[in-house]
Structure 1
Amino acid sequence: MTTAQPAPPAAALDVDPFTALAVHFGMLLGVSDFQVLAANPRGKAALHQAWLHGRGVVWGFPVSVAEEVPELVVGAGLAVDGLGREVATGSPMCLDVHAWLGAPDETSAPFDARLVVRHEACLSRPVPSIQQGYAGSDRSPAYSRILEMARLELKPYTSRPPDDRAEAFPALRRYVRDGLLPEGADHRDTRLAEFREVLARHVATLRPPGHAPDAQAESTKLFPEDEPGEVLLADLPGMRVVKVADRKWRLEAPVVDLSVRRTHMPTWMLSELLAELLDRGSTGSGRCASDAGGPRVRRIRVAGTRVTVEFRGRVVEATVWDSLGLYPFDQDGGWGEHVPPAGTRFDDDGTDSTIAFDLPEPAAPVTYRLVLSGTGAKPLAGLVNGQPVPLAGLVGDPPASRAQGRDVARRLVIRPAEPLAPEQPTESGGPS
């Protein structure tokens, strides 16, 4: 099998984003000055791409199997690697899998591998050279150009590698997907505030490998990952090289899975997709599906058996109690019937509304599911221009319409009151 060959040291494209050339009139410029001049903007661009975009395919790099020869064919494409470098090819590239296997004489056993592309550079355009401290010409080679290109590699595996995309920003994913706050994070008044806290906490833990406690001496202190920063192009399980005739071979690759690759999308398209979410599936020719102004739940508080629900906006009291459901959970029987709230109270300050109620005092901790309906036949509603508008969900939820609101569901754990400590007897009487 072939292994990656490092680029010659002279072909290294230096990056130094935090050092710039300061020039003055009459200053003599040497090789090191031009190196600084090139390394600064190159480093800034790479730093931006590596941290703010990450590695991934920008366009192209289709993968196919050649028909007559045992080769993988990869079309033209552009990618960004883990160190922020552009990895590009303007013409198709081929990888001879038969040669990669060591040119076996017979049909190979099936094997699994992943195809990656990595950045490579080489020197070009030889020119006469002058050695430092020597006035005459020198016969040693010198080159005036560095060419950047793409290099294909196969990486075999015995067990399918994990999808590293699912491991990125795990706390943020859990919050967006499941609404779970990481340990130590505080509940806030809005989901937006909680999202910001989760994001800030995670970003505070990010660092280049060179700043890790167990950092290696050669680890980068600039970029999110060390060399080679390769970009995954395809997963190729079950490949084999088949002998079809004397000195003739064919590659069989039953699956060419491109879904494993990271891909980049233009920012204008991200804006379009956000607009699609706001449009909520309409044709785009009708009225904009903006929020209808229905009330939203700002906060739910539990103190003992007393539950308080604070709304942003005013709600119609007559719609509250029919739209509220309280369902206790029992391990043997599952969810029970609705428990009517006791000690109900409704307050309205002219801008926002608040409701409060009591749950039965339990002998042991009881879990309830609280549901405030913004959908169905009788949703909780407010008034907008004299017309009923259903509950729009939590503060920070996407827009809701006049016809379709959003339910709010929360888990409530009601615990028995702690018994009061018995009073200690006191001795009566005074001095005689």
Structure 2
Amino acid sequence: MATTNLPLNPFVSNRYHFGMLLGVADLDTEQGYHRGKGWLHNAWMHGPGAVWGLAVEVTPDNNEVVVHPGLALDGNGRELHVGERLCVDLGRWFAERRPEDLDVTEDADGSVRFTVHVRLCARQCLDRPVPAVSETCSGSDDGTAYSRTVEQALPELAAGPAPERPLGPYPRLRHLSGQIGTVAPGDLLNALRRAAALDTIDLAPEAGPGALFPVDGDGCVVLAQVDAHLQPGQDRWTVLADTTVDNAVRPAHVRTATIQELLFAPPAAQPFLATAPEPPRARDADLTGTHLRVTFTRPLNPATVSPEAFTVTALRATGWTTVAVTEAVPDDDGTAVTLTLRAAPRVRPVRVVVSGAGPAPLLSADGRPLSGSEADAVDVASGADAALLITATEGRS
């Protein structure tokens, strides 16, 4: 089948009138208008990514890289549909079509190792030739012409690992999403609107303002990375069993309904999110002489435990007085810290403030900052101080 380019013009449409004579250009305009509108929307509003399926695997028995059925959008908004398995002979590709920039390592036994990534690319081909008048009103010479255009999605191998996926456009919005915990709720909507407005002003097609689509080039979608190991033979290269495929390098689209549920469903309806580890919290405190022991719900990172992370005060007749902390020693399991005070408080209550915010908060072993006390059950991603009150003259509060 011969290749072709499909008509594409999302901003020019026919204006039909009674008795209008229609020709090929008019029909191309009709198709190009609707096709262009759809592709333009897909490219700018969704971007490239897999929609469903398209798993990639290597079958050493057949020497092939296999792309399974599925659907994707490419960088130019085109729908890439694979209706049946598509295969690339990896050994033959290496022998006949490997690019010059492919980095190949040779083992002592003569086998070779290299990394490629699998891309899915749009191709348009002509099909179904039918009799046609090749020269209108010029002798009426009969000929044939293709009557169908077939949109195909074909895999290809490209040298090197899959390209790193940058965060992409909208830097202000991405910054805002990471700072939501520090933005006052009343200001968040205005901040969101402002960031979105400024980010969209900065967007432009890679090929310049005159281009229709965001990417400049073929817009192929990366599906997987293949770390290949091939063994030479008499007449071909054979794929070895330790060749691996990573399908997680691809961009992917998530249904809007799913995004809505992730944003607004209660935590109980989100078992994956509900299993995320909770932040550490201060549990309780007890005071005996000059030793004050504070316990926590989760092990702490010992590097963050210091006297500066604790503030101890005692209520005297003249008001709250600071009691100096000279040493802070975590237990072996990290769930408790024993403070040594410069002097034993002889009055009650005694208040202990444990740092979860500020420049030097206590962190859990997995890096989450202290989020208040267990009794308050707060969950502040950026951390919150915990305040514990000791009212008994000796022992636990």
TM-score category, normalised to shorter length:
0.5 to 0.7
Code of the aligned partner of 1:30: G
3-state SS of paired residue (2:248): coil
1:272 aligns with one of 250, 261, 282: 261
How much does 1:189 deviate?
5.4
Residue 44 to residue 232, structure 1, CA distance change in 2 (3 Å):
same
Q: Percent identity?
A: 32
3-state SS of paired residue (1:124): strand
Residue 248 to residue 369, structure 1, CA distance change in 2 (3 Å):
closer
Residue 339 to residue 115, structure 1, CA distance change in 2 (3 Å):
farther
Q: Is residue 196 of structure 2 the alignment partner of residue 195 of structure 1?
A: no
2:132 aligns with one of 129, 133, 148: 129
Q: For residue 217 of structure 2, what is the aligned residue in structure 1?
A: 227
The separation in 1 between residues aligned to 2:257 and 2:180, in whole angstroms, is 28
Q: For residue 172 of structure 2, what is the aligned residue in structure 1?
A: 171
The separation in 2 between residues aligned to 1:107 and 1:139, in whole angstroms, is 59
Residue 263 to residue 339, structure 1, CA distance change in 2 (3 Å):
farther
Q: For residue 73 of structure 2, what is the aligned residue in structure 1?
A: 80
The separation in 1 between residues aligned to 2:77 and 2:270, in whole angstroms, is 39
How much does 1:338 deviate?
8.0
The separation in 1 between residues aligned to 2:223 and 2:374, in whole angstroms, is 51
User: Aligned Cα RMSD in Å?
Assistant: 3.7
Q: 1:56–1:81: 8 Å Cα contact kept in structure 2?
A: yes
Residue 376 to residue 247, structure 1, CA distance change in 2 (3 Å):
closer
1:150 aligns with one of 150, 153, 163: 153
3-state SS of paired residue (1:23): coil
Q: Deviations over 1:244-294 (max 9, x none)?
A: 665573355532111110111222222222233xx123589xxxxxxxxxx
Residue 264 to residue 127, structure 1, CA distance change in 2 (3 Å):
same
Q: For residue 39 of structure 2, what is the aligned residue in structure 1?
A: 46
Q: 2:92–2:236: 8 Å Cα contact kept in structure 1?
A: no
Residues 28-427 of structure 1: matches in 2 within 5 Å? 28-103=21-96, 108-138=111-141, 141-157=144-160, 161-164=163-166, 166-178=167-179, 190-211=187-208, 221-237=211-227, 239-243=228-232, 247=236, 249-252=238-241, 254-276=243-265, 279-281=266-268, 337=311, 375-376=372-373, 404=378, 406=380
The separation in 2 between residues aligned to 1:100 and 1:255, in whole angstroms, is 17
Residue 177 to residue 408, structure 1, CA distance change in 2 (3 Å):
closer
Code of the aligned partner of 1:208: P
The separation in 2 between residues aligned to 1:339 and 1:407, in whole angstroms, is 27
Residue 19 to residue 253, structure 1, CA distance change in 2 (3 Å):
farther
The separation in 2 between residues aligned to 1:68 and 1:242, in whole angstroms, is 13
Q: For residue 295 of structure 2, what is the aligned residue in structure 1?
A: none
How much does 1:173 deviate?
2.1
Count of aligned residue pairs for this structure pair: 289
Residue 377 to residue 67, structure 1, CA distance change in 2 (3 Å):
closer
Q: Is residue 10 of structure 2 the alignment partner of residue 17 of structure 1?
A: yes
Code of the aligned partner of 1:83: N
Code of the aligned partner of 1:71: E
Q: What TM-score results when the alignment is normalised by the length of structure 1?
A: 0.58
How much does 1:161 deviate?
3.2
Code of the aligned partner of 1:280: P
3-state SS of paired residue (1:50): helix
How much does 1:67 deviate?
3.4
Which has the larger share of helix? 2
Q: For structure 2, which runs of at least 5 residues remain unmatched after alignment?
A: 99-108, 272-305, 315-356, 362-369, 385-397
How much does 1:119 deviate?
0.4
Q: 1:66–1:251: 8 Å Cα contact kept in structure 2?
A: no
The separation in 2 between residues aligned to 1:227 and 1:243, in whole angstroms, is 35
3-state SS of paired residue (1:223): coil
Q: Deviations over 1:196-235 (max 9, x none)?
A: 22222111100112326xxxxxxx6111112200011001
The separation in 1 between residues aligned to 2:22 and 2:308, in whole angstroms, is 80
Q: 2:132–2:145: 8 Å Cα contact kept in structure 1?
A: yes
The separation in 2 between residues aligned to 1:137 and 1:339, in whole angstroms, is 104
The separation in 2 between residues aligned to 1:57 and 1:407, in whole angstroms, is 32
Q: Deviations over 1:134-160 (max 9, x none)?
A: 355546541010001111111112x76
Residue 79 to residue 191, structure 1, CA distance change in 2 (3 Å):
same
Residue 26 to residue 18, structure 1, CA distance change in 2 (3 Å):
same
The separation in 2 between residues aligned to 1:281 and 1:161, in whole angstroms, is 37
The separation in 2 between residues aligned to 1:267 and 1:207, in whole angstroms, is 25
Residue 85 to residue 107, structure 1, CA distance change in 2 (3 Å):
farther
Q: 1:174–1:180: 8 Å Cα contact kept in structure 2?
A: no
How much does 1:33 deviate?
0.3
How much does 1:176 deviate?
1.5
Residue 283 to residue 229, structure 1, CA distance change in 2 (3 Å):
closer
3-state SS of paired residue (1:211): coil
Moved more, 88-97 or 107-116: 107-116
How much does 1:14 deviate?
1.7
Code of the aligned partner of 1:146: T
How much does 1:241 deviate?
2.2
3-state SS of paired residue (1:204): helix
